[in-house]
Amino acid sequence: MTWARRAVPAVAAAVAALAARDLIQRDHALLRNFPVLGRARYLLETIGPELRQYIVAGNNEERPFTRDQRRWVYASAKQENNYFGFGTDNDIEYTLGYPIIKHRTFGRAVPPSSPTAGHDVRLPSAKVLGAARGRARAFRPESVVNISGMSFGSLSGNAITALNKGAALAGCLQNTGEGGLSPYHRNGGELVFQLGTAYFGCRDEHGRFSLDRLKDLVAGAPVRALEIKLSQGAKPSLGGLLPGAKVSAEIAATRGIPAGQDCVSPSRHAEFSDCDSLLDWVELLAAETGLPVGIKSAVGDLGFWQELATLMRDTGRGVDFVTIDGGEGGTGAAPLIFTDSVSLPFQQGFSRVYKIFAEHDLHEQVVFVGGGKLGLPDNAIVAFALGCDLVNVGREAMLAIGCIQAQKCHTDTCPTGVATQNTWLARGLDPTLKSVRAANYLRTLRRDLTKVAEACGVEHPGLIGTDAVEILDGRTGSTPLHQVYGYRPEWGLPSPADQAEIIRLMVPEAPQGGSAPPSATAVG
């Protein structure tokens, strides 16, 4: 008993000390929010591989992101060793639809000698956004990887700050999402401003779109492009509701709505009602702001895309970019039937739309942006081969700033402070530290894309053609990507002039190497 009487206070003091340490440290939001208790997760993570071997799920079983995929993002974000030992544990030989990237033995581009070379390599877009349509503020995006639209309201202020600062560090763009342009978006990162059906941030007191407010907004912030949101993959054709309890004074000011009242996003736009009026609106916004203007959409019925492309070809009006979001994409909250079953997955949806533009001879004039788990290098490479010029990363960027895939984004109880408006939980996320993690992840993804491009013998991922990818159909066969999706062999690449320019831009930057110095008897 004497022993117990002495041990209990000692243990309590140790736990209290541990809790204090967890509360003070800034590395792990989970521990700041859940001192001591949160350690159980890290312990399980450490011994997880051994446990899982006998009991639970494998490295590739969890969704939306498998354990391997998350480990790669976490390690990349922390600049830890993100390699995997012993060889793949994917079931390559028996997995239907598995993509294989084909390297070239004597390719044009020489891969760097060191596995870590190229971490800071520039990887700009192969197309100039807005150039084809002569927009006053056309520009070449500095990075082929950018941050997808996720609103302040859906994400915490600290998460938006971390992503915005991370975008500035990594030299990429952050899309505001449809919830307006908040003070957290003003931390140095350049922006794509998204216009949703409620026109948050650019609406008048009656909820109507206000061109003057939009012009004031983009004049006072580093906005480089406008994106009209038609739909997103996880919940196409659905409006949204932010309950009054979550409409804080900050959110109200950002969105231009009254605080404390339910905030409704309608399911349709008021400024246009068909392709013709959509194109008129695009031209109006571009003329009034000088900015490139694009649309974001999931893919369902193709009638819309046929009509849009035909009108663009025949009338000379047009969008500068098209963002295609796959049905496997993420959301803060949506009904299960929509996340699971409405709209095509990325590869199928994107290839159908790209083909329509290519058949109308517009594919070289439009910048194609992809989203839907494209923050993983293998998915991104297939997207580039299919004709994407840029990829957007949403949830992968959330993982980089601490998301643990708890899938509670819709409950306002996100344990890591990423997707919540609860000030206690959000305070756990240190935006300065996490901005560095976001930037590390973005740079690592760009480096991997560069290295795969070089392995394929080209200087830039946008130059990877459909002939470089095959889709396995089981144990014994495979089909080239262009056949799977009915592409003509020349589709999926920028125009010859854009190809020449991106090669010129990449070559001085690309770290050269690849062999030991040649001997005196070398023959070539």
Ligand X SMILES: Cc1cc2nc3c(=O)[nH]c(=O)nc-3n(C[C@H](O)[C@H](O)[C@H](O)COP(=O)(O)O)c2cc1C
Kindly list the residues in this chain that would bind ligand X in the complex (CB under 6 A): 148-151, 154-155, 177-179, 194, 229, 232, 296, 325, 329-332, 371-373, 375, 393-396, 409, 419
Cβ-based nearer residue to ligand X, 253 or 507? 253
Cβ-based nearer residue to ligand SF4, 234 or 388? 234
217, 353, 397, 414: which one binds ligand SF4 (CB under 6 A): 414
CB of 329 to ligand X, least distance (A): 3
According to the binding rule CB under 6 A, does residue 366 interact with ligand SF4?
no
Tokens of 424: 């206690």
Cβ-based nearer residue to ligand SF4, 38 or 318? 38
Q: How many residues form the binding site for ligand SF4 (CB under 6 A)?
A: 13
Helices 346-359 and 303-315: crossing angle, nearest 10°? 30
Q: Tell me if residue 183 falls in helix, strand or coil.
A: helix
Give the C-alpha separation, 128 to 167, whole Å: 19
Choose from ligand X, ligand SF4, none: what does 431 bind? Cβ within 5-8 Å by kind: none
Site for ligand SF4 in 381-410 (CB under 6 A): 398, 403-409
CB of 408 to ligand SF4, least distance (A): 4
298, 418, 439, 502: which one binds ligand SF4 (CB under 6 A): 418
The position carrying tokens 């650019």 is 202
Task: Output Rg (C-alpha) for the chain, integer angstroms.
Answer: 24
Residue 62's CB is within 10 A of a number of other CB atoms, namely 15
CB of 174 to ligand X, least distance (A): 11
382, 419, 472, 506: which one binds ligand SF4 (CB under 6 A): 419
Contact by Cβ (8 Å): 149, 296: yes
Q: Which residues of 152-162 are buried (b: 16+ CB within 10 A; e: fewer)?
A: bbbbbbbbbbb
Cβ-based nearer residue to ligand SF4, 297 or 331? 331
Contacts of 267 (CB under 8 A, 6+ apart): 197, 237, 238, 239
CB of 243 to ligand X, least distance (A): 16
66, 416, 444, 466: which one binds ligand SF4 (CB under 6 A): 416
CB of 43 to ligand X, least distance (A): 28
Tokens of 434: 């996490």
Contacts of 124 (CB under 8 A, 6+ apart): 140, 141, 142, 143, 144, 502, 505
Tokens of 257: 């709505």
Give the C-alpha separation, 237 to 342, whole Å: 9
Residues that bind ligand SF4 (CB under 6 A): 398, 403-409, 414-416, 418-419
